[in-house]
Structure 1
Amino acid sequence: MQTKCAKARRRVTLLFALVLGVLLALLLGGCQGAQEKQNSSETGGYEVKDVQGQVLKLPRKPQRIVTLALSSDEMALAMLPAQRLAALHYLADDPGISTEAAKAQAVTARVRDYNVEQLLSLQPDLVLAPDWNRQELIQTLRDAGLPVVVTKGPSSVAEVKEALQQIALAAGEPQAGQKLIEQMELEMADIAAKVQNIPQAQKKTVVLISHMASYGGKGSLFDNMCRDAGVINGAAAVGLGKNDALTKEAIVAANPDVILVPTWTKGKLDVDQVRQELLNDPALQSVKAIREKKLVQVSDAYLYCAAQDITKGIRGIAAAAYPERFE
């Protein structure tokens, strides 16, 4: 009897030891996993999937970022310290066309043609390339060993938000990107509240005189901004595509209520000359905006903005068409 009891006690002891060992192993494994997670967080290693489906592994938050567009520079400057950017577009510090000109002055290097040799010389630890960049350039940079993340090249508010999110994730600063998106949403909600109840028959028609000869038609950034501003894009209304040139005949056919004229003095157009030529052109005297001298300036830095300040461009267009609603 005693032998049986002793054997039973030993089995219980062994079972208890086995259970205790399993519990300790689980506990130690959990601690080790937590430690590994902490170590990963401390080093900042993470992965980013871009719009082309490419996954890039970054060992830490990049400190020498180069973007391949002025709009991407504007996004990066708005959410990151200037010291984390290795170079900017050559127009980034021109307040006439850049919305982040003041902050851009803290970055000394400039890029104009985006050639491979210059980009390699900058030794970036992250290249942000909008998907409107040439694919051969993107592939060449990748083949050269540069870490490239392809982001959305925006042509609408929704796509600006998408690009902001992608750039913020690539830079390791998702909260900074989300903050900009939330600010945009507040601004867009305010604009919508002012223009959303305008009947279609009462919407104003707007035409943009652009520094780019072929720009502003259906599907362009400006076209989408007009939609959000509650106005009719005259160029799109008469059948022009986003890469079609605006002619005098198209302006007459559109018969806009408002013509937006340039503000940027370093572009292809002479600002004062454009205004005088429009007002004095015999072929345009039947156009409502010419008769009523509704030639309005909205900062080109905002009208051509494919970054977070696109909202200011949309507000400017809406205010030009419906000034009474924005007083």
Structure 2
Amino acid sequence: MPSYRRALLRALLPLPLLMPLAACGGSPTPQDGKAAAGAAPGFPYTVTNCGVTSTYQAPPQRAVAMNQHATEILLALGLEGRTVGTAYLDDAVLPAYRPAYDKIKVLAKEYPSKEILLGANPDFVYGGYSSAFDKAQGRDREGLAQSGINSRLSVEYCTEGKVGLDQLRTEITEVARTFGVPERGERLLADEQRRIEAVGARVKDKAKPAVFVYDAGEDSASTSGGSGIGNEIVSLAGGTNVFADLDDTFGDVSWEKVIERKPEVVLIYDYGGTTVEAKKQRLLNDPALAQVPAIKNQRFVVLPLSSAVLGVRVADAVESLGGQLHPDAA
């Protein structure tokens, strides 16, 4: 697992169902530009994000998204026309967003240097992981602010306690409000709510299998702890994370601990250069794990890493994992 990653269905407010973004304006229009240049409705807007307070006199017009889930939030809100750069994919962009994504300049395969970032002339930088704002690389939020650039970090990486649907609502609502498109955020959240509740209804009476999340690792296992949205996704899908007591988004645990907790299912995160099959074989070929129920019964389920972070794929992840854990309830 890259070193930069370390995080009950609550009823959301009733909202209208998600409409195609094209119907609600899609990319910014000439009127959007006029509003930004003059007195934009709803501005100035002040928001405090992860300890940083920013006041926007108008919506950002030149955003850079530094991680995949940040990029996909902007695309889901129809903001590709105001996104001048993107970086650091964990896996493939959702097919629905690919045409819009292909219009945006990729600044770097991973994180861009400070020079390349500033060369894009952004007025807003959006990081999905805290490593997006690396002070040693000159990309810290304070330094960006001194250059007149606003920024945002996903609240998954500054929330005290567990991250769940409240934080998803905060993230999408505040980003949509920052860009002057709050109604798009509401529609997006309404669709997430509807789909998650549908899964909840299907699995509510099912037994919840004990799930071990295998992210990566040889000498120890990198797993999903109880603080991130990944833990909530397992719960919403009708499972129980065996390392929910780990006070971190991601963390390393010993294989002895995995054996002790007797998981019934292994959830593999799919990303990077190590294939799902290679991860399965690592587990299946370890004699110490042979009697772990999930390994003995070869019960594996899979999610892409991009679905296990705070972004627009939470409903996708709950639907997919719910179907894999409870195929008879699909």
Q: Same fold (TM over 0.5)?
A: yes
Larger relative contact order (Cα-Cα within 8 Å, sequence gap ≥ 6): 2
Q: CA 1:235/1:148 → structure 2, altered by over 3 Å: closer, same or farther?
A: closer
CA distance in 1, matches of 2:152, 2:284: 47
Q: Out of 309, 316, 327, which is 1:323 matched to?
A: 327
Among residues 181, 187, 190, which one is paired with 2:195 in the alignment? 187
Unaligned ranges ≥5, structure 2:
1-33, 158-162
**Greater C-alpha Rg:** 1
Q: Is the 8 A contact 2:123 2:148 kept in 1?
A: no
The alpha carbon displacement at 1:250 in A equals 2.2
From the superposition, tell whether residues 209 and 96 of structure 1 become closer, same or farther in structure 2 (CA, over 3 Å). Answer: farther
Match among 92, 97, 100 for residue 103 of structure 1: 100
Larger displacement relative to structure 2 (61-70 or 150-159)? 150-159
> Residue deviations 1:104-133, cap 9 Å, x none?
112123243254332221111333346845
State whether structure 2 residue 227 is matched by structure 1 residue 219: yes
Counterpart contact for 1:116–1:140, Cα < 8 Å:
no
* Distance in 2 (alpha carbons) for counterparts of 1:150 and 1:282: 42
AA in 1 matched with 2:72: E
Measured in 1, the distance between the counterparts of 2:128 and 2:268 equals 28
Choose 185-194 or 143-152, whichever is displaced more.
143-152
Q: In the alignment, residue 261 of structure 2 is paired with which amino acid?
A: A
The structure-2 alpha-carbon separation of the partners of 1:117 and 1:215, relative to structure 1 and needing over 3 Å to count, comes to farther
TM-score (norm 1): 0.74
CA deviation map 1:263-284 (0-9, x unaligned): 33xx152332221232232111
In structure 1, the partner of 2:263 is 256
1:113 match: secondary structure: coil
Greater helix share, structure number? 1
Pick the aligned partner of 2:313 from 309, 313, 319.
309
RMSD value over aligned CA atoms?
2.9
How far apart are residue 53 of structure 1 and its match? 6.2
Alignment match of 1:144 (pick from 132, 147, 164): 147
Pair 1:54-2:53 in alignment: yes
**Would you say the 8 A contact 2:233–2:318 is kept in 1?**
yes
Q: How does 1:127-206 map to 2 (within 5 A)?
A: 127-129=125-127, 132=130, 134=133, 137-149=140-152, 152-153=155-156, 155-198=163-206, 202-206=207-211
* Distance in 2, Cα, partners of 1:50 & 1:318: 35
Counterpart-to-counterpart distance in 1, 2:303 and 2:293: 19
Secondary structure of residue in 2 paired with 1:278: helix
Q: d(CA) in 2 for partners of 1:226 and 1:129?
A: 24
1:244 aligns with 2:244: no
Distance 1:70 1:285, change over 3 A: same
Is structure 2 residue 127 aligned with structure 1 residue 120?
A: no
Where has structure 1 moved over 6 Å in runs of 4 or more?
Answer: 39-42, 96-99
Match 1:90 to one of 88, 91, 98 = 88
CA distance in 1, matches of 2:66, 2:318: 24
CA contact (8 A) 1:63 1:85 kept: yes
Question: 1:80 aligns to what SS in structure 2?
Answer: coil
Q: 1:40 to 1:242 in 2, by over 3 A?
A: closer
Q: Which amino acid aligns with 1:233?
A: N
Q: What amino acid maps onto 2:46 in structure 1?
A: K
Instruction: State TM-score, norm by structure 2.
Output: 0.74
Which structure: greater strand fraction? 2
Counterpart AA for 2:327? P
Q: How many residues align?
A: 279
**Alpha-carbon deviation of 1:241?**
4.7
- Supply the distance in 1 between the matched residues of 2:248 and 2:184 (Cα, whole angstroms): 35
Q: 1:91 to 1:128 in 2, by over 3 A?
A: closer
Correspondence 1:233 to 2:241: yes
Alignment of 1:30-45 (within 5 A): 43-45=38-40
In 1, the alpha carbon distance for the partners of 2:263 and 2:52 equals 43
* 1:130-169 superposed Cα distances (whole Å, 9 cap, x missing partner): 6845485101000111233555336422212211111111
Q: 1:159 to 1:247 in 2, by over 3 A?
A: same
